[in-house]
Amino acid sequence: MRALYNLPAPAKINWFLHVTGRRADGYHTLQTVFQFIDWSDSLDLVRRDDGAIRRIGDDGLPEDDLCVRAARLLQSATGCALGADIHLRKSIPQQAGLGGGSSDAATVLIGLNRLWRLGLTRPALMQLAARLGADVPVFVYGRNAWAQGVGDDLQAVDLPTPWFAVVHPAHGLSTREVFAALALTNLPQPPTIYDFAEWLKNTVAAAHTGSGTPSGALQPMWGRNDLQQAAQRLAPDVALAAQILREVLLRQGQRARFDVRMTGSGSAVFAWLDEAPQRTLQAAVLQDMPAQWQGRLCKALAVHPLHGWVDESSGLGGAAAAQGRHAD
Coil, helix or strand for 166? strand
The rounded radius of gyration (Å) of the Cα atoms in the chain is: 20
H helices present in 131-272, as ranges: 136-141, 175-180, 193-208, 228-234, 237-252
Which residues does the annotation mark as catalytic? Answer: 12, 135
CB 223 within 8 A of CB 16: yes
Domain 163-299 homologous superfamily, CATH: GHMP kinase, C-terminal domain (3.30.70.890)
Where does CATH 3.30.230.10 sit in the chain? 3-158
Q: What percent of the chain has pLDDT over 90?
A: 65
What pLDDT shows up at residue 75?
98
In tens, the pLDDT along 40-64 reads 999 999 999 999 999 998 777 777 8
Chain mean pLDDT for the chain: 88
Where does CATH 3.30.70.890 sit in the chain? 163-299
In tens, the pLDDT along 180-223 reads 888 776 677 889 999 999 999 887 766 555 555 554 457 889 99
In tens, the pLDDT along 238-253 reads 999 999 999 988 888 8
pTM of the model: 0.91
**3-158 CATH choice from 3.30.70.1710, 2.60.40.1250, 3.30.230.20, 3.30.230.10:** 3.30.230.10
**Could you tell me how far CA 188 lies from the centroid of its own chain?**
26
